[in-house]
Amino acid sequence: MRAVRLTHWGGPPVITEVERPEPRSEEVLVRVEAAGLCGSDLHVIAAAPGALPYLTPFTLGHEIAGRVAGSGPDATGPPTGERVVVYGPWGCGRCGHCSTGAENYCDRRPALDAVRAGTGAGLGRDGGLADFVLVPSGRLLLPVGDLAPTQAAPLSDAGLTAYHAITGIRQALDEAGGGAGGASVAVIGVGGLGHLAIQILRATTSAQVFAVDIRDDAIALADDCGAHFGTLVRPDTADVLRKRSGDAGVDAVLDFVGTSATLRLGVSALRAGGQLTLVGSGGGELTVRKPGALPPGLRMSLPFWGTRPDLERVIALARSGAVRVETKQFPLSRAPEAIDTLRSGAVRGRAVLIPD
């Protein structure tokens, strides 16, 4: 079968022929119908040797939708032929977090990293930029019904991570909802995750949603997704957001970029007691000091991916029509072009590869 493999750190990934895996024990083989490309893939490809606890080579791709093609003798879960999405963070399956479906916070992750077992599909373990992917257990597969594969695949990270981040700010939004004007939240970065976050916020909260980006087409996408207000980054952006939220500042910020500049913008726009959620991996830094310039009562979180119950809810939202992924599609044979397009910032929404 074909697979897009990272053969050495720094890339570039190569399309190559590898043996089609055979499922054993609890493993399940999935025929890939669509696989999303993510900014995290770019970080993995560009990583220096030793920066990540994985061993090369491995197949990239952690946003995967397809059909169950075969199972090991001890496998459970969806039957052969069922259309599924793959839950990407693969934990031990047994610890306290994993037993509740929160494998993204597996207690044994440091031990798994120590033996270079990989964080999950496409992250040290063979992923879905291939014709088939081998999944360790049927517990990691969620049925998607009649949802199109190109819509389903990005939900497993872009949708899931956005939903999980929003779950973390619900208390802040609920607490602020009774105030004058209700709650407000700023979404910084309207890319693959940000445009889904806007839709999820509109579908599951009553908050005013403000979108911020450096690109005109991203602000247009935010408008299409239901944002109440969108603005390009300017010197006065924090003041504009504060005025839009009644002068006190927004109740929560979802930063899907994560540079030092966006972190400064986020805290400048927040009200006292507000919540800053850092999702993007832009390498930015924020100085935490007391006394200091941060808003009093600031709460900050660093969510990672999401839980299986979160993914079930995201799938339900997508099947209801409340959430739709904006995609730019490529055949698997053009994976290098898709990666370059994503790297250049020319993808509106999410890049999705389809085996051809």
Sequential pLDDT tens for the chain (356 residues)? 999 999 999 989 999 999 999 999 999 999 999 999 999 999 999 999 999 999 999 999 999 999 999 999 999 999 999 999 999 999 999 999 999 999 999 999 888 877 777 889 999 999 999 999 999 999 999 999 999 999 999 999 999 999 999 999 998 888 886 544 589 999 999 999 999 999 999 999 999 999 999 999 999 999 999 999 999 999 999 999 999 998 889 999 999 999 999 999 999 999 999 999 999 999 999 998 888 889 999 999 999 999 999 999 999 999 999 999 999 999 999 999 999 999 999 999 999 999 99
Domain boundaries, the chain: 2-158+305-354, 169-301
Domain 2-158+305-354 has CATH 3.90.1570.30: no
- Residue 180's pLDDT is what? 47
pLDDT at residue number 247 = 85
Contacts of 261 (CB under 8 A, 6+ apart): 233, 284
List the end-to-end C-alpha distance of the chain, in Å, as a whole number. 12
The confidence score (pLDDT) of residue 178 equals 52
Q: How far apart are CA 207 and CA 64, in angstroms?
A: 31
What is the C-alpha separation between 301 and 253, in angstroms, rounded? 10
pTM value surpassing 0.85 = yes
Q: Which tokens hold the place of 139?
A: 């517990």
Whether 198 contacts 222, CB under 8 Å: yes
User: Which of 129, 12, 153, 115 shows the shortest CA–CA distance to 59?
Assistant: 129
Nearest Cα to 160, choosing from 270, 38, 68? 38
User: Strands 250-255, 184-188: parallel, antiparallel or unpaired by DSSP?
Assistant: parallel
Which positions ≥6 away from 121 have C-beta within 8 Å?
Answer: 61, 62, 64, 86, 88, 90, 127, 128, 133, 135
Looking at domain 169-301, its CATH architecture is 3-Layer(aba) Sandwich (3.40)
Gap between the Cα atoms of 186 and 253, Å rounded: 5
Which burial class, exposed, middle or buried, applies to 67 when counting CB atoms under 10 A from its CB (0-12, 13-18, 19+)?
Answer: middle
**CA angle (103 as vertex; 100, 260 as ends), nearest 5:** 125
Length of the chain, in residues: 356
